[in-house]
Amino acid sequence: MYPDYALTKFGTDTPYLIEERFVDMWCSQIQSVTVYIADGSCQSNTDGMTSFVATISVDNQATLVKYSDAFCGSVNTSTSVDNVGNDTFGANCVWGSTCSSSDASSCSKRFSVGGLGGSRSMASKAVMVYDDNYCDEPPVQLVVTNQMACSSPVSPTCSATSTGANTVYEDYTCIDDVAAFAAFQFGNAPYLIVENFVNGTKCGTQQSAVVYRADEGCYYNVVDGTSFRIFPNVGGSVTIATYPTSSCNDYEADYVTVGAKYLNTDECFNGMLRLHANMTGLLSPVKQTPSTEIDYKAREEIMFPGWLWEPAPRRVFESS
């Protein structure tokens, strides 16, 4: 009944996510059903006070993020479910940890998807993360996810998002080329692209990508709540430092160095990552001022004084 009703509202070509809520732990006693459009964009709820973002990835992972404001600024709950059912109620029953604190302790949820009758071609949503409230500097991060549908905003939306004690500013759009979009966004600023692939595919099936500003500065990572700094090394390798707090204290850092053979090549790092870097400006050789003829002559006289070239006086041995 619920899939049929959702189908009449959304059609066959608009992806949507069905969330069933139950009062028991076994998904048998239904409490309510909500259907969310799953185009990866921020949508306000009917109450005008809260909002959500629902996405469906190409590998059938559904993510539903609920916000406590109408502009997708303050995260309330976030739920990700693998292998969601396609227009069926055969999806796994998810219980306990996915329920908010206001729910009963025995609540459970079940998710299914629909509206996948259109093209299954991959769409990418790029979220640009900034540390200024104008969103006009090169971003701190680009977070790119592959999903079944993507809808770009009509106009840029530089909105504040709070995660714990950190506040960043975000905008988003739909893209089809990560490398080209990163080059456009960062311009002359150095950056590092990290493509994440499905584990076990040896970098065959891309899952997502994150582009980091790589100018050696300390920045907040919206993906996992840590902080990072990225350094280029002589010889072409790159070191990524991860910190548990925003202070970027070297004492707390974890370091990963990626060799030059894995940068800007097709080599697969750790079986599931591919990296591309544009950091040449940080390692540009320092230009030396050309020496004048006088300077050269002075150094020559110091290094090779004239007495080195004067013939030694002849020694005379006399015997009586």
Reported as a single tens digit per residue, the pLDDT across 241-254 is 999 998 999 999 99
**Burial (CB count <10 Å: 0-12, 13-18, 19+), residue 46:** exposed
Same domain for 171 and 103, yes or no, is no
Residue 302 in any domain: the answer is no
Residue 194 in any domain: the answer is yes
Please state, in angstroms and rounded to a whole number, the distance separating the CA atoms of residues 78 and 53: 9
Same domain for 65 and 136, yes or no, is no
Residue 137 in any domain: the answer is yes
Q: Which tens digits make up the pLDDT trace of 63-110?
A: 899 999 888 878 888 888 877 765 444 456 776 554 554 545 557 888
Domain that holds residue 156: 124-282
Q: Which residues pair with 62 in a beta bridge?
A: 56, 81
Specify the range with the lowest mean pLDDT, choosing from 81-85, 110-114, 264-268. Answer: 81-85
- Please indicate, yes or no, whether the overall pTM of this predicted structure exceeds 0.85: no
Same domain for 198 and 261, yes or no, is yes
Same domain for 137 and 277, yes or no, is yes
Same domain for 133 and 274, yes or no, is yes
Residue 194: pLDDT over 70: yes
Same domain for 176 and 218, yes or no, is yes
Residue 303 in any domain: the answer is no
Same domain for 22 and 101, yes or no, is yes
| Residue 175: alpha-carbon gap to chain centroid | 14
| Residue 55: alpha-carbon gap to chain centroid | 16
Residue 206 in any domain: the answer is yes
What's the number of domains the chain is made of? 2
Residue 317 in any domain: the answer is no
Q: Of 77, 95, 114, which residue sits at a domain end?
A: 114
Q: Which tens digits make up the pLDDT trace of 210-234?
A: 999 999 999 999 988 899 999 999 8
Same domain for 228 and 268, yes or no, is yes
> pLDDT > 70: what percent of the chain?
77
241 touches 170 (CB < 8 A):
no
> Tokens for 266?
């097709």
232 touches 262 (CB < 8 A):
no
